[in-house]
Amino acid sequence: MEQRIGSSSQPLEGAGFDPAFIPGLTSPASGRTKDEEPEREPEVAEAEDAEETEEAEGAEEAAPEPEEDAAEEDPAPEGGPVFEASDRRAKLVADHRGVRLSLDDQECEFRWDEIGAVETETARFGKRYTVTVHTPDRRWYPIEIEAPARSRFTEWDSQLDAVLDAYFEEEAG
């Protein structure tokens, strides 16, 4: 009869043990450092290091300008509808570039080709207007905006519908 010494269970991974863990985006960090890499022959190591520096230099030279600058310079089409709603913490902008959500210091931007659906919801009581952006990969991003008055809900719905009709259907077709 064989017996193993030590634990037979696998180490646990996830947000409970690593606060920076995001499934699908990051792989578990290995405890290995650069000093612990297997030894390479000096000639091979020098050749690989030279290739890495050449690639890095080439990447720096061919690096395009940041997308933010290009996006800021991109003028809105004349007469195109724009929807904007905000309160003291949250802001929502929908225009020809897509939908941008921001809450406090967090921001996200969706191009029209990244959006599967846009859903709006109003609170039965209170003045909260919720807009949820759904992506094709089954993720959703809600944002709640506090309206100055409940009468703004119908105005915001009609403005957002105009933007969605103009840009969302155009991109989907």
The 10s digit of each residue's pLDDT in 131-145 is: 999 999 999 999 999
Cβ partners under 8 Å of residue 111, min gap 6: 97, 98
Nearest to residue 137, comparing CAs of 15, 27, 25? 25
Using CA atoms, how far apart are residues 34 and 36, in angstroms rounded to an integer?
Answer: 5
Cβ partners under 8 Å of residue 143, min gap 6: 90, 92, 101, 103, 130, 131, 132
**pLDDT beyond 70 at 16:** no
Q: Which two tokens stand for residue 113?
A: 């080709």
The DSSP bridge pattern shows strands 90-95 and 83-86 to be antiparallel
pTM, 2 dp: 0.55
**pLDDT beyond 90 at 82:** yes
